Structure 1
Amino acid sequence: MKKKVAFYTLGCKLNFSETSTIARDLVEEGFERVDFSENADMYVINTCSVTENADKRFKSIVKQAQKSNPNAFVAAIGCYAQLKPEELAAVDGVDLVLGATEKFKIADYVNDLSKNDFGQVHSCEIEEADFYVGSYAIGDRTRAFLKVQDGCDYKCTYCTIPLARGISRSDTLLNVLTNAAEISAKGIKEIVLTGVNIGDYGKGEFGNKKHEHTFLDLVKALDKVEGIHRLRISSIEPNLLKNETIDFVAQSNSFVPHFHIPLQSGSDAILKLMSRRYLTQLYVDRVKRIKEVMPHACIGVDVIVGFPGETEEHFLQTYNFLNELDISYLHVFTYSERDNTKAVELNGVVPKKVRNKRSKMLRGLSVKKRRAFYEGQLGSRRTVLYEAENKEGYIHGFTENYVKIKAPWNPGLVNTLQEVNLTEIDDDGLVRCTEVESMASV
């Protein structure tokens, strides 16, 4: 009988891509992968530590695993496992904690899957995380997350990721192209490029600090891979998103007009406190350049509210900056204190009630921005990639410029690209459309 293993992933697309690769490795070692809700012999939880909530959720997920099988072996991997291994090992039911490099060798640490009285920790010093492991995840059969880079050399004062993932390092160009071709051969229509700081691509292949290739080299090479219908850049720092990349995407065969660009604050004073590597004018310039060459492009923005020292005036600067900027939606993060970061030592702590109020205001602005962007797309002809889930009688999908579409459920549309006319915004904020013609089938 094959031993059964189940996975639960917290956090970012990068975590999902790594979970998939680790799962494939365990399947090759003779395990059978099952859903996390099922009875399994081993449960692997890939953790995140970007926010306070991700830390708290870990215990409830361990309990969920124990409910399915009280005798199952429970392993914790990921960022939280690297940052606070002893803390995770002390959680009731946890048998094994693996750090940043050890997680990719999980098969070496699981033998008979016997429960341990105390969680065993195998975690390197983060300076030892200087090699690269490529990975990709296939989600709902329509898109894949392809990891191209790991780690970060930036020292933003609020962030623990460099402590959890180590120095910036990249996959080889050849390996990225090989993985992209593998994904394409599986019939996947869209690849999302992911990493910790993907604009830094080319630095440190296998821990070597030589710059073999740039991010623009990567983008140009991927654009030539046969069989890929869509390539999407997940998130890229504004100072690393060069005009040459923007201009290439504008005339690319495969890259879609969608950028997600972290801002974090619309106040230069706060950006300096955060140790970000740009000021607001550079951000304005990037948005303007994108809209000049791709007027229909979708631009998403990360923003943090309630950072230490953020006065009401600073917050209103951010609000007004974003309100006036030609962007499409926001990802709003409420600042939470993280151990071993410089931000926890700063003065001017913002009360949590004020943080939550500011967060609510920006989320309201995001709804307004998305609605305005969608309204600007009505009457246009776009290409939709339909997803696999039947949601209350409707099938959903995204246009190349990230407008979310709904249509009456039709299983024949799953994982197909359809050319449509965008007609109206429904009560739930999604866009209805009329079909023009089929472009590609499963």
Structure 2
Amino acid sequence: MENKKKVAFYTLGCKLNFSETATIARDFEEEGFDRVGFEDVADMYVINTCSVTENADKQFKQVVKKALKLNQNAFIAAVGCYAQLKPEELVAVDGVDLVLGATEKFKIIDYINDLSKNDHPEIHSCEIADADFYVGSYSIGDRTRAFLKVQDGCDYKCTYCTIPLARGISRSDALENVLQNAKEISAQNIKEIVLTGVNIGDYGKGEFGNKKHEHTFLDLVQALDTVEGIERLRISSIEPNLLKNETIAFVSTSKTFVPHFHIPLQSGSNAILKLMKRRYQREIYTERVNKIKEVMPHACIGVDVIVGFPGETDAHFLETYHFLNEMNISYLHVFTYSERDNTEAANMEGVVPANVRAKRSKMMRSLSVKKRRAFYESQIGTKRTVLFESENKEGYIHGFTENYVKVKTPWNPELVNTLHPIHLTRIDDDGTVRLDFIEALT
């Protein structure tokens, strides 16, 4: 047992990456490896990369340095989206031994031998058109919730996005496989499942390698609602044009799906949405938000927005700002536009200066703080259920209500991974809802 090789993992980027890292890690464990934390000395470090933001690219180098500081002789493997798009850049980073692209990352065991450092680092990266098969995955272990992958790839051609280049065509897991994975998660006492993918509203396309929808996203939601033992199901990001009223109506009466939606907007200006080649206009977005609030007034609605896109004038930005300010939404994820190679937007005119992008980002982030505070205040006096997480953060344990209000109470390890009905009574200085210890247990 003492001779078992140790492997550690680091994930950059989205929930989908976390689910895939967990699946790859289980493959290593089945091969006899010991999985250790990334802060520990390991024989091999696997870094699952992201290509969505410029910052994620820079983070990769920092993570490699951290790994080599722990063990200068460690075997370093990079996998994932950045590894698919720019393998030469990754392999040029000092200390990297192996780079695997979109399809190869799930066969990583086949590419490693004795974990000796490579004199000449290897790249195995497919043509993205070959990424036409589906590998199901989910993450569990260090969380009270699991990320369950139901779909991969994207057929949309948004002008700023590299994900179709990094992950290939839209394709889905078979419904019976998703349900089986959900049952496996349930059997491990995980209380919450978050559905994840690249474009999950497109679920059903590409099962068994074809483009026909064998099932719809509504079929998926309805089937998962019947899985025993799962307390909560949460839908991650879903495109507004694919979030149908039937799905909203079903969630409003579901026994397990929670009233929380994350719906990308990207811009509140129809002119900019057209430049982005988004598949909706702002009027559709308004309809979706209004429908959700009509049937679930207490629902939490998160929004993705990009600032500084080429051609975005001050007037366009203010159009988006006022649109969101007036909208009954709960928080924003703000992305500052950054040029990505091999995208249409990178060659567009009307480049927004970096300092203007930064200013707009700051304004949007301030708006997000205001929106979240207003949403939390609207929930004061209501009774909700909180699921406590596992970390002790400065003497407090944190958790989220079903409608995504962040709650904290003094640390008590007995509360980890437990659900409790609570009354939301006051917001603390840090913006979270503060509970007294006794309240948390009632």
After TM superposition, the score normalised by the length of structure 1 is 0.98
Question: Structure 2, unaligned stretches of length 5 or more?
Answer: none
1:198-250 deviations in Å (ceiling 9; x for gaps)? 00000001322121100000000000000000000011000000000000000
Instruction: Give the corresponding residue for 1:184.
Output: 186
1:269 maps to amino acid: A
Q: Secondary structure at 1:33's aligned position in 2?
A: strand
CA contact under 8 A between 1:381 and 1:420: conserved in structure 2? yes
Q: Secondary structure at 1:296's aligned position in 2?
A: coil
Instruction: Give the corresponding residue for 2:317.
Output: 315
1:397-439 deviations in Å (ceiling 9; x for gaps)? 0000000001111111111100000000011111123666869
In 1, the alpha carbon distance for the partners of 2:323 and 2:341 equals 30
In 2, the alpha carbon distance for the partners of 1:138 and 1:219 equals 20
1:201 maps to amino acid: Y
Instruction: Give the corresponding residue for 2:133.
Output: 131
CA contact under 8 A between 1:130 and 1:206: conserved in structure 2? no
In 2, the alpha carbon distance for the partners of 1:63 and 1:105 equals 25
1:304 maps to amino acid: I
Instruction: Give the corresponding residue for 1:293.
Output: 295
1:269-314 deviations in Å (ceiling 9; x for gaps)? 0000000000000000000000000000000000000000000000
Instruction: Give the corresponding residue for 2:211.
Output: 209
Q: Secondary structure at 2:390's aligned position in 1?
A: strand
1:347-385 deviations in Å (ceiling 9; x for gaps)? 000000000000000000000000000000000000000
The one of 386, 389, 392 equivalent to 1:387 is: 389
1:398 maps to amino acid: F
2:312 maps to 1:280: no
Instruction: Give the corresponding residue for 2:379.
Output: 377
In 2, the alpha carbon distance for the partners of 1:163 and 1:282 equals 27
Instruction: Give the corresponding residue for 1:152.
Output: 154
In 1, the alpha carbon distance for the partners of 2:316 and 2:17 equals 33
Query: Per-residue deviation at 1:50?
Result: 0.3
In 2, the alpha carbon distance for the partners of 1:63 and 1:22 equals 22
2:252 maps to amino acid: A
- Please say which of residues 12-21 and 200-209 is displaced more in the overlay: 200-209
CA contact under 8 A between 1:6 and 1:36: conserved in structure 2? yes
Instruction: Give the corresponding residue for 1:396.
Output: 398
Q: Secondary structure at 2:212's aligned position in 1?
A: strand
1:39-438 map, 5 Å:
39-138=41-140, 140-433=142-435
1:387 maps to amino acid: E
In 1, the alpha carbon distance for the partners of 2:65 and 2:143 equals 30
In 1, the alpha carbon distance for the partners of 2:386 and 2:276 equals 38
Query: Per-residue deviation at 1:138?
Result: 1.4
In 2, the alpha carbon distance for the partners of 1:123 and 1:38 equals 29
1:67-113 deviations in Å (ceiling 9; x for gaps)? 11111111000000000111111111111000100000000000111
In 1, the alpha carbon distance for the partners of 2:18 and 2:140 equals 9
Change (3 A) 1:86 1:437: closer
In 2, the alpha carbon distance for the partners of 1:256 and 1:155 equals 30
Query: Per-residue deviation at 1:141?
Result: 3.5
CA contact under 8 A between 1:94 and 1:118: conserved in structure 2? no
CA contact under 8 A between 2:409 and 2:440: conserved in structure 1? no
In 1, the alpha carbon distance for the partners of 2:236 and 2:74 equals 35
In 2, the alpha carbon distance for the partners of 1:236 and 1:58 equals 27
Q: Secondary structure at 2:123's aligned position in 1?
A: strand
2:199 maps to amino acid: N
CA contact under 8 A between 1:152 and 1:167: conserved in structure 2? yes
CA contact under 8 A between 1:300 and 1:329: conserved in structure 2? yes
In 2, the alpha carbon distance for the partners of 1:194 and 1:207 equals 20
In 2, the alpha carbon distance for the partners of 1:72 and 1:438 equals 46
Count of aligned pairs between the two proteins: 439
Q: Secondary structure at 2:309's aligned position in 1?
A: coil
Regions of 4+ moved over 4 Å: 434-439
In 2, the alpha carbon distance for the partners of 1:141 and 1:236 equals 23
Aligned-residue identity in percent: 79
CA contact under 8 A between 1:418 and 1:436: conserved in structure 2? no
CA contact under 8 A between 2:57 and 2:82: conserved in structure 1? yes
In 2, the alpha carbon distance for the partners of 1:19 and 1:161 equals 17
1:324-367 deviations in Å (ceiling 9; x for gaps)? 00000000000000000000111000000000000000000000
2:175 maps to amino acid: L
